[in-house]
């Protein structure tokens, strides 16, 4: 869950009540526009088809008639691929999936003119695991990314790597820290743009940017590329809690801010298509649109996602579009998965053989109308285990049935009970037992690349041991009584946690602190509780209490990287540099690639004048975050202050290439040239800085450069400009400028 940008809530309501009200309003609107229909699955198909009565009827008739879709794969190998992922986007909140109150004209048009998959499941209701599955065609149990913040292991091939190896230019433009390059999801991309708040030294877990900025980055890249085949991924993150769409969406969707975020995002889906059209490549680009997971809106307590495996957080949109390759639009009702995206793309572009080893199946046979088979969907979440100490959740959706393994298993008949209100786990025990066994075998198969896990016939005991080794302890607890609590039994605590988060988003840190204290009493052995409480305390400048809270957490969880990083940051902001340095080095003993720890240690050493030692930390940090503007700028400053001006100039030149509108870099490079005695170069750079944005320090530096070059007339001019604009400058600089001006005028 992410804190929005610098702008705060667009509506006056907030917290749990706000989101419950929004959910109720959404449900009421849908009922009014669609009516209450009966008939189980037939109702679901009708609801999910088309954008209005006419289109819905045509799509339904087409599905019933069994007509075939024309799919022209010859020639597709020469096409580009644009993958658009819509973070936190429920399928049932798009017009093309039946929501007549939605405003999603661009997505609706893609669905109307392309291929829309009506029933699509994500593998996990979490951003990074789900995107890792999209990119690898593997379930989380196979690719190893079970929660946000995990690393994609080396040796697992991604779609980007495969296409890059086949001559595609590859690029990605992502919108949140959840898919930051440090987690390995950047594998195979020539360009991976994940710069958020570039001026800040650290990326926080809440770092993100709006669709507008992400689109602009892609647009600039396409302006200099696109002549050759490319694979580009554009990731929009906007519909994340708390919902804060920009104007006019904030006002138009005041009672439905989540839908306002989706409407805003839809606009920039349209902008992508327009940009491709302007470039003249839309007709030669296969567009794939996929949601990564949905969103709970309070209907089953959860506001957000990650805890439960209900339909609202698992059902996502999936649309394929290219009017030449898919010459007839179609709605495919069969159940499919996000793990099927990568193998489908590979077959469409003529690289079917490259999908060997992927769990997902190519959907080309579905596109051609050769099969209507439903694909079983394996779903899971380790978020409740890692973040709250509750049981992990793992489930299987098989045709009409959903089975969820947890301390209290759940079974739902999705045809008769699409809203999952009636748990049949006890009344249909035989069906639940059958699906549990099927789920166990599916997990084992997925973990071993689709082959029998044991290479032959295994015993029940061997299967349980394998499941336990994969982390599924509620299948097979390590010892009696070691099962973690069922999240369903923790809904009161979940409400408290969500209330605390709402207080934080409103900057009501005193109230947040009190709620987090209550939460910590119930969840004393997970790092998140201590970190959340310490942040709320630090926001009130109660730093000593924050340190005490974190040390209390360390006494219970001594090897927690998360706790140590937060403790190191807290020491740093309170001026306790020695403790900060020692703490961050403990972090590095646990994780040598932790960027926050490397950055803090480098900065402390730099300030102490230990330049060479500082550079070793900068070097290590830049291996992980080579695009970081702050790290590169600090590294260049380190070189310059150590007399290595030529090297510093090269770093500044690359920064200027990446940030051509940042006047400070022209200042720094100009000063470096001035120290080298290359005054013409210095003056040129300093003048460019003033062209971008006139500043008092810019006038002062240019005056000094002219003075050193012997051009006293220009030096006088810029010293005068400095003094005319020196209201907020230091007295020392003002006195120096006056003295120099007086001396030059006498001369």
Can you tell me the distance from the alpha carbon of 511 to that of 43, in angstroms, rounded to the nearest whole number?
A: 45
Residue identified by tokens 């994780």 is 591
pLDDT tens-place string over residues 640-667 = 999 999 999 999 999 999 889 899 999 9
Structure tokens at 285: 């680009």
Query: Could you count the other beta carbons within 10 Å of the beta carbon of residue 292?
Result: 28
Question: For 582-597, b where at least 16 C-beta lie within 10 A, e where not — what string?
Answer: ebbebbbeeeeebbbb
Number of H helices, E strands in the chain: 31, 14
705 in Cβ contact with 740 (< 8 Å): no
Q: Please tell me the chain's helix, strand, coil percentages from 3-state DSSP, rounded to the nearest 5.
A: 55, 10, 35
- Sign of the alpha-carbon torsion through 440, 413, 366, 329: negative
Say if residue 305's pLDDT is above 60. yes
Phi and psi based region of residue 29 (left: phi greater than 0; alpha: psi -120 to 50; beta: remaining): alpha
pLDDT tens-place string over residues 393-434 = 999 999 999 999 999 999 999 999 999 999 999 899 999 999
- Give the pLDDT band of residue 14 (cuts 50, 70, 90): very low
**Interior CA angle at 14 toward 491 and 388, to 5°?**
30
Structure tokens at 76: 């597709």
Say if residue 456's pLDDT is above 70. no
- Give the pLDDT band of residue 56 (cuts 50, 70, 90): very low
Can you tell me the distance from the alpha carbon of 683 to that of 686, in angstroms, rounded to the nearest whole number?
A: 5
> How much is the pLDDT for 697?
94
Q: What is the mean pLDDT of residues 707-735?
A: 93
692 in Cβ contact with 665 (< 8 Å): no
Q: What is the mean pLDDT of residues 129-140?
A: 98
Q: What is the mean pLDDT of residues 143-166?
A: 95
Query: Could you count the other beta carbons within 10 Å of the beta carbon of residue 427?
Result: 10
Structure tokens at 420: 């999952």
Q: What is the mean pLDDT of residues 328-335?
A: 95
Q: What is the mean pLDDT of residues 319-343?
A: 96
> How much is the pLDDT for 38?
35
> How much is the pLDDT for 249?
97
Can you tell me the distance from the alpha carbon of 524 to that of 12, in angstroms, rounded to the nearest whole number?
A: 34
Q: Which is more confidently placed, 214 or 29?
A: 214
Structure tokens at 231: 């694979």
Say if residue 303's pLDDT is above 90. yes
- DSSP string computed for 305-342: SSS---HHHHB--EEEE-TTTB-S-EEEEEEEEGGGHH
> How much is the pLDDT for 76?
75
Say if residue 718's pLDDT is above 90. yes
- Give the pLDDT band of residue 248 (cuts 50, 70, 90): very high
Closest C-alpha among 699, 656, 648 to residue 676: 648
Listed by start position, the domains of the chain span 15-36+70-381, 399-483, 648-747
* 693 Cβ neighbours under 8 A, 6+ residues apart: 663
> How much is the pLDDT for 71?
74
State which H helix or E strand residue 116 sits in. strand 115-121
Question: In the CATH scheme, what is the homologous superfamily, with its name and number, of domain 648-747?
Answer: Tetratricopeptide repeat domain (1.25.40.10)
> How much is the pLDDT for 472?
85
Q: What percent of the chain has pLDDT over 90?
A: 79
Return the minimum-mean-pLDDT range out of 4-13, 156-165, 523-532.
Answer: 4-13
338 in Cβ contact with 122 (< 8 Å): yes
CATH number of 15-36+70-381: 3.40.720.10
208 in Cβ contact with 237 (< 8 Å): yes
Q: Which is more confidently placed, 63 or 717?
A: 717
Domain 15-36+70-381 and domain 648-747, same fold? Reply is no
- DSSP string computed for 642-703: TT-HHHHHHHHHHHHHH-TT-HHHHHHHHHHHHHTT-HHHHHHHHHHHHHH---HHHHHHHH
Mean pLDDT of the chain: 88
Say if residue 9's pLDDT is above 70. no
Say if residue 27's pLDDT is above 90. no
Determine whether 240 is exposed, middle or buried from the number of CB atoms within 10 Å of its CB (0-12, 13-18, 19+): buried
- Give the pLDDT band of residue 44 (cuts 50, 70, 90): very low
Q: What is the mean pLDDT of residues 466-476?
A: 80
Q: What is the mean pLDDT of residues 15-26?
A: 43
Say if residue 244's pLDDT is above 50. yes
Say if residue 269's pLDDT is above 60. yes
pLDDT tens-place string over residues 684-693 = 999 999 999 9
Say if residue 374's pLDDT is above 90. yes
273 in Cβ contact with 106 (< 8 Å): yes
Instruction: Please tell me what DSSP assigns to residue 492.
Output: H
* 431 Cβ neighbours under 8 A, 6+ residues apart: 401, 411, 424
């Amino acid at each position: 869950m992410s804190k929005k940008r610098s702008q705060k809530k667009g509506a006056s309501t907030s917290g749990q009540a706000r989101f419950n009200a929004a959910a109720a309003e959404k449900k009421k609107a849908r009922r009014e526009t669609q009516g209450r229909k009966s008939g189980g699955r037939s109702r679901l198909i009708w609801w999910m088809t088309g954008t209005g009565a006419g289109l819905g009827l045509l799509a339904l008739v087409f599905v019933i008639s069994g007509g075939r879709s024309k799919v022209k794969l010859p020639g597709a190998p020469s096409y580009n691929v644009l993958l658009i992922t819509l973070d936190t986007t429920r399928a049932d909140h798009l017009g093309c999936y039946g929501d007549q109150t939605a405003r999603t004209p661009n997505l609706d048009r893609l669905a109307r003119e392309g291929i829309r998959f009506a029933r699509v499941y994500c593998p996990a209701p979490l951003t990074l695991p789900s995107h890792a599955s999209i990119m690898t065609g593997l379930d989380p149990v196979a690719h190893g990314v079970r929660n946000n913040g995990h690393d994609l292991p080396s040796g697992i091939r991604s779609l980007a790597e495969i296409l890059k190896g086949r001559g595609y230019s590859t690029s990605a433009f992502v919108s949140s820290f959840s898919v930051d390059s440090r987690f390995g999801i950047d594998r195979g991309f020539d360009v991976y743009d994940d710069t958020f708040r570039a001026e800040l030294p650290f990326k926080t877990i809440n770092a993100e940017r709006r669709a507008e900025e992400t689109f602009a980055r892609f647009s600039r890249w396409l302006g200099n590329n696109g002549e050759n085949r490319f694979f580009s991924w554009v990731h929009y993150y906007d519909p994340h809690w708390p919902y804060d769409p920009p104007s006019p969406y904030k006002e138009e969707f005041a009672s439905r801010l989540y839908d306002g975020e989706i409407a805003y995002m839809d606009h920039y889906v349209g902008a992508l298509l327009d940009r491709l059209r302007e470039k003249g490549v839309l007709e030669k680009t296969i567009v794939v649109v996929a949601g990564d997971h949905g969103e709970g809106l309070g209907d089953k307590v959860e506001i957000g996602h990650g805890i439960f495996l209900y339909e609202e957080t698992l059902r996502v949109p999936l649309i394929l579009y290219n009017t030449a390759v898919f010459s007839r639009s179609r709605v495919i009702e069969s159940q499919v998965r996000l793990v099927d995206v990568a193998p489908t793309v590979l077959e469409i572009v003529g690289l079917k053989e490259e999908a060997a080893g992927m769990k997902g199946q190519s959907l080309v046979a579905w596109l051609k109308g050769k099969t209507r088979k439903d694909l079983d969907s394996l779903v899971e979440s380790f978020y409740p285990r890692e973040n709250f100490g509750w049981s992990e959740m793992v489930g299987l959706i098989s045709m009409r049935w959903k089975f969820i393994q947890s301390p209290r298993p759940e079974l739902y008949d999705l045809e008769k009970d699409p809203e999952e209100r009636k748990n049949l786990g006890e009344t249909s025990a035989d069906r639940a037992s059958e699906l549990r066994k099927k789920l166990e075998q599916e997990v084992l198969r997925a973990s071993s690349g689709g082959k029998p896990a044991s290479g032959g016939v295994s015993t029940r005991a061997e299967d349980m041991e394998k499941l336990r080794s994969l982390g599924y302890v509620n299948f097979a607890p390590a010892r009696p009584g070691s099962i973690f609590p069922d999240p369903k039994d923790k809904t009161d605590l979940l409400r408290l946690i969500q209330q605390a988060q709402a207080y934080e988003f409103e900057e009501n840190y005193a109230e947040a602190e009190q709620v987090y204290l209550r939460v910590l009493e119930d969840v004393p052995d997970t790092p998140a509780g201590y970190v959340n409480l310490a942040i709320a305390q630090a926001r009130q400048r109660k730093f000593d209490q924050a340190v005490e809270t974190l040390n209390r957490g360390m006494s219970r969880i001594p090897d927690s990287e998360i706790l140590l990083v937060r403790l190191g940051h807290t020491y740093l902001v309170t001026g306790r540099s020695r403790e900060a340095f020692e703490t961050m080095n403990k972090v590095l003993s646990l994780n040598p690639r932790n960027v926050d720890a490397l950055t803090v240690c480098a900065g402390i050493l730099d300030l102490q004048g230990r330049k060479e030692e500082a550079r070793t930390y900068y070097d290590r940090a830049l291996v992980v975050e080579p695009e970081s503007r702050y790290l590169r700028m600090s590294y260049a400053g380190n070189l310059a202050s150590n007399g290595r001006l030529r090297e510093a100039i090269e770093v500044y030149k690359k920064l200027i290439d990446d940030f051509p509108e940042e006047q400070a870099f022209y200042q720094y490079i100009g000063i470096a040239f001035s120290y080298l005695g290359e005054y013409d170069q210095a003056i040129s750079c300093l003048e460019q800085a003033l062209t971008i944005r006139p500043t008092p320090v810019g006038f002062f530096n240019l005056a000094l450069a002219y003075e050193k070059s012997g051009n006293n007339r220009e030096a006088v001019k810029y010293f005068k400009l400095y003094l005319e604009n020196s209201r907020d400058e230091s007295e020392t600089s003002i006195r120096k400028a006056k003295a120099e001006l007086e001396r030059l005028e006498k001369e």
